[in-house]
Structure 1
Amino acid sequence: MDYNIETSDTLRNLVDLDTEEHKVRDIAKLFLNAMDDWPTTNQNFISDFIRELKVCFGTPLTIEKLNANKFNGQNAWQLEAGSSIAELINISKRFYNVSDFDKIMDNILNHYNKEFNTVDFIAELQYLTTEQGGRRTPAQSGYRPQVKFEFAEMQTSGQQTFIGRELVSPGESVRAKIKFLSPHFFAHTLTKGMGFEFREGGIVIGTGKIEYIVNEKLEKPDDDV
């Protein structure tokens, strides 16, 4: 099942995890800067922001329209956001020969959706030894044990994509991307540093600790922590 990026928080988390130097990352950062500058309170949904952007500057969004909007004493932050969008379009035109804003956004979201479909959060995993009841053979990156948190009886499949390795033997530790089969089960319940077990059936084969939450829909609100 594919999951699509809906909010600026999730896109920002994915961009922060992206350590490669490339223009899609630069363009995505400009888009996030524009969302941060936009004056609407608690603006987080990407689709809502784009709709408001087009209402303000006109459709289709072009560098000319973005630059034509003048300061009226109240729209400074909107103009600041528009400046970032104009720069975004300019970079895309120079490096990818694409100036259509909607196509640029498709390129950004398609690029980061591929990563989003491999990760809900980053965790440090510790595999039990065989003597402790763990696996008898190494696990390969992409392995899907069940994930169980203390606060719920329910568990779900969580794919482990190992970072920097392909195989992990019993007794070893590894950093990994974790992607739930059913992320909605854990909506607004997870926090950084939270521990969990991963299992084969009812047998615990290892433990994990959340390092970084990527999918903001899983993150527990601050006032609930």
Structure 2
Amino acid sequence: MKHPSGYTIKDVIEAGKELRSRFNFDQYQPDFMGLVSLNSDRGWPITSGVRPAHQVTANVLTSGEQIFFEDDLLMPGESARAYVKLLSPEYYPHCLSVGREINMNEGSRAIGKVKVLEVYNAFLLASS
């Protein structure tokens, strides 16, 4: 199976393995860990290093890199845990809480959701 960009699933898996092999929690400093669920109608899998937009507030979409740590590939309709590092969290403080579900988009199209399991960046943690 080839993606329109010319990549095969094997290419995507190898890229994910490479990113995961170099992963260092202390250097990467993810903002949170989430359960990423990919919509079943999506025609192509995603892998570690993917950077979809995350709907962190009602009016803020921000890019976030996801590093899966149980498998290198997430197929449509599946879920997996991932570390997520968001772009410019200083612009949307106190927006995350454990259990919250965040939409995940590519452009204007929703491709899945991320359920927040743990928040590591105290700046993003919603006050109770």
TM-score by length of 2: 0.76
1:124 alignment counterpart = 35
Indicate yes or no: 2:120 matched with 1:185.
Answer: no
CA distance in 2 between counterparts of 1:209 and 1:164 reads 16
**Residue 68 of structure 1 corresponds to which residue in structure 2?**
none
The one-letter amino acid of 2:34's match is: A
Deviation at 1:122, TM superposition (A): 0.5
Partners in 2 of 1:153 and 1:204 — Cα distance? 15
- What is aligned with 1:161? 67
User: Offset of 1:112 from its aligned partner?
Assistant: 6.2
Offset of 1:143 from its aligned partner? Answer: 0.2
- Counterparts of 1:187 and 1:195, CA distance in 2: 17
- Look up the match of 1:147: 54
1:138 paired residue among 40, 45, 50? 45
Distance change (3 Å), C-alpha of 1:142 and 1:112: closer
User: What secondary structure sits across from 2:58 in the alignment?
Assistant: coil
Which gives a bigger RCO, structure 1 or 2 (Cα 8 Å, sep 6+)? 2
Runs of 4+ with deviation above 3 angstroms: none
Amino acid at match of 1:129: S
Q: Distance between the aligned counterparts of 1:113 and 1:175, measured in 2?
A: 18
Write 1 or 2 for the structure with the bigger share of strand: 2
d(CA) in 2 for partners of 1:202, 1:192: 25
For residues 115-151 of structure 1, give each alpha carbon's deviation from its aligned partner in whole angstroms, at most 9, with x where no partner exists: 41xx100001110012xxx2x11111110000013x4
| 1:167-178 matched pairs, under 5 angstroms | 167-178=73-84
Structure 2 gaps, min length 5 = 1-23
Aligned pairs for 1:28-47 within 5 A: none
How many residues matched? 105
- Residues 53-79 of structure 1 show CA distances to partners (whole Å, capped at 9, x for unaligned) of xxxxxxxxxxxxxxxxxxxxxxxxxxx
Q: Percent identity?
A: 32
Question: What's the C-alpha RMSD, in Å, of the aligned pairs?
Answer: 1.5
For residue 185 of structure 1, report the CA deviation from its aligned partner. Answer: 2.5
In the TM superposition, residue 174 of structure 1 has moved relative to its aligned partner by 0.5
1:208 aligns with one of 114, 117, 120: 114
Return the structure number with greater helix share. 1
